[in-house]
Chains A and B, each alone.
Chain A
Amino acid sequence: MQTRIYETDVLIVGGGTAGTMAAIKAKQENPGLHVLVLDKADIRRSGAIAMGMDGLNNAVIPGKATPEEYTLEITEANDGIIDQRAVYRQAVECYDIVRELDSWGVDFEKDEKGDYRVYRVHRKGRYVLPMPKASDLKLILAKKVKQMKAQAINRVMATRLLTRGNQAIGALGLDVITGDFVIVKAKAVVLTAGAAGRMGLTDSGYLYSTYENPANSGDGFAMAYHAGAELTGIECYQINPTMKDYNGPACAYVAGPFGAYTANYRGERVTGCDYWSGELIMTMWKLANQGQWPLFLKMTHLDEASIAKIESILHSNERPSRDCFHQGRGKNYRNDMVELHFSEVGLCSGHSAAGVLVNHEAETSMAGLYAAGDMACVPHQYLLGALTFGKIAGVNAARFAASQPGYEPDPAQIEAERERMFRPLQNPDGVPHHQVEYKIRRIVTQYLMPPKTMTKLEIGLERILHFRRVDLNLLGARDPHELGRALEVHSIVDCAEMMARASMFRKESRWGFYHYFLDYPERDDKNWLKRVVVRKGKNGKMEVYTKEVPPYILFPHLESESVGGGELLS
């Protein structure tokens, strides 16, 4: 085990969709800069979507939808707590990203005239653009990173940012193959390390059958927190409707446009709109508690051509093994409805809102630190948001880096992290990481899950703090791989504490089931149409406070039946 030192202009932490796009765009912006991507896996198959994606869920295609319409729709979907300038910018700039991906060889569904074909899954607008053969999306992005001469170092897991006051100047990490300690000095840093997907226990009982790729363990949330950056929307959890046990999406977005819908056991439609939101999960949770459970995705009424098309998309993209899952249980979309369940709880702005606080320039509260993708709070941004804000973060990081002299890191920060990082390796007979992980995820599931109560949250927080003092010190690791997994457990604990404190702080209910708080069961716009912000204070303790929502640039129409948002003008 050695210490390796790198110097770069722009450091990108995480080479998933947002990170690879950030690298490509940073080089395009300023080809003279050195751009370095660290990934704890391999950028060809890392991030949220190892095997590509079957579609873009929020493509604002001129002539089919408008940025204004999309921004208002997401304002309502996120119950008004939103930076409209950021969402609007994504909506305006995403079309260029779609066309660029198209020119790089990503396959999109088009009509006879060659125009992009979009479908409606959201409440109002049509934004779902299928990518029927995009299982190689990550390979295409990784190739582009190489063409642009950005450097990628695989199997290095960043664990802490290097800081100089309120500025990011690099990162520290672990090579999970060799066990090398890695020091990177950088003039600007882009955090694109993904969701916190291993927070709750899964319904199958298998620790890694999470909705999110389990490599997304909240390391970016933890790194931003320990550096002193602001995070927000943490109490707005991610809980998705998924296939029971398999825990992948049931894919109403793919099957819905063909006529599939969410049904009860009698095959009757039960949800008006299958767009994923806290409202949809609340509807499902209520049905479950009325004994009207389980729900199903119903495709049995569709014709053979439609079912064959759905299968060809679902069985080659995103989660190709779903085919084996159905076969193994003797199920077929022609005869059987697909049983649904709730995913485990997590943090992910891609579908929900939790993340590092960023503005429309992907700037965080720290100088030289940018964030994008599932770990940056641009609500409901999905894959196309990761690509669009990855671009914005890459361009802005390149511009910032060009203005910086470069700073030497503080040796005390380096040594403190070296000591923390290698501690589990000095304890090879310590408790294995999967046992320790199971216990913290059990605490999250049993005490932090909605419906939230102050009593449950208080016990949960007490258990988390005890876990931090006791259990984390019991962790053992026998090799660099296990050490990486052990350090991921540290990230999970940081995220769990943020979830407990942010949830206790917001004394109202909001976002449907995601923050359903029985002590305060009503939404309270008068006092809580605000962001709850979490940050590591100067004394090392977690601070929680509110910030005003940035001024709206568009105002929702007053509608009596709107899902929030309508009240915002009063």
Chain B
Amino acid sequence: MSFSAHVSPRLITQRVEASVIIDRDKCIGCGICVQVCPMGILALDHEGKAYMKYDECWYCTPCQTDCPVDAVRVHLPYLIR
């Protein structure tokens, strides 16, 4: 986000509930979930652990199914539940 001396920020951030939750104690940072997500919404953080980066989930579950250490849980996005 860029700031100007003359106007307030042109973008604001709103909180959104994440539907994909990763158990960071189990996550080994292999990146399989990041690779297989059809919408490309997962990423590895600065410690190499997976997290949901973009609110664009189809709750299709390959991330959960293909995780080798059972660290990923797909919940339905709030509006679907």
Contact = CB atoms under 8 A, between A and B. Distances in A.
Nearest to A328: B81
A209 B61 contact: no
A481 to B, nearest CB: 6
B80 A214 contact: no
B79 A209 contact: yes
A50 B79 contact: no
Interface residues of B, number: 30
A325 B80 contact: yes
A428 B3 CA distance: 12
A567 B15 CA distance: 58
A51 B40 contact: no
Given A206-B80, A213-B60, A50 B2 contact: no
Contacts of B52: none
B62 A51 contact: yes
Nearest to B3: A429
Contacts of B36: 41-42, 44-45, 50
A172 interface: no
A451 interface: no
Contacts of A325: 76, 80-81
Interface of B: 1-2, 9-11, 35-40, 53-62, 65-66, 74-77, 79-81
A324 interface: yes
Nearest to A16: B38
Contacts of B9: 429
A176 B38 contact: no
Q: Report whether over half of chain A's contact residues are helix, strand or loop; otherwise say mixed.
A: loop
A208 B58 contact: yes
B79 A204 contact: yes
A215 B39 contact: yes
A476 to B, nearest CB: 8
Contacts of B60: 45, 50-51, 213, 319-321
13 contacts: A45-B62, A50-B38, A51-B60, A51-B65, A208-B57, A209-B80, A213-B60, A214-B56, A321-B60, A321-B74, A328-B76, A429-B10, A434-B56
B2 A429 contact: yes
A246 interface: yes
A42 B81 CA distance: 28
A20 interface: no
A320 B74 CA distance: 10
Contact of B76 (A45, A324, A485): A324
A484 interface: yes
A208 B39 contact: yes
A51 B11 CA distance: 36
Given A321-B60, A481-B54, 15 more contacts: A40-B40, A45-B38, A50-B58, A51-B62, A135-B65, A208-B56, A209-B58, A215-B38, A245-B79, A246-B76, A321-B74, A328-B81, A428-B1, A428-B2, A434-B55
Interface string A428-443: 1100101000000000
Given A50-B60, A208-B57, A214-B58, A154 B80 contact: no
A213 B40 contact: no
A119 B39 CA distance: 34
B2 A176 contact: no
B17 to A, nearest CB: 11
5 tightest A-B contacts by CB?
A206-B79, A45-B62, A45-B36, A429-B10, A41-B38
A264 interface: no
A246 B35 CA distance: 25
Q: Name which of B1, B2, B54, B58 has the most chain A CB atoms within 10 A of its CB.
A: B58
Given A206-B80, A214-B56, A245-B80, A432 B39 contact: no
A468 B34 CA distance: 33
Contacts of A135: 65
Contact of A214 (B11, B39, B55, B74): B39
A246 B81 CA distance: 8
Interface string A50-88: 110000000000000000000000000000000000000
A40 B62 CA distance: 16
Contacts of A206: 77, 79-80
A305 to B, nearest CB: 26
Contacts of A321: 59-61, 74, 76
Contact of B40 (A41, A210, A428): A41
A490 interface: no
Contacts of B38: 41-42, 45-46, 50, 213, 215
A122 interface: no
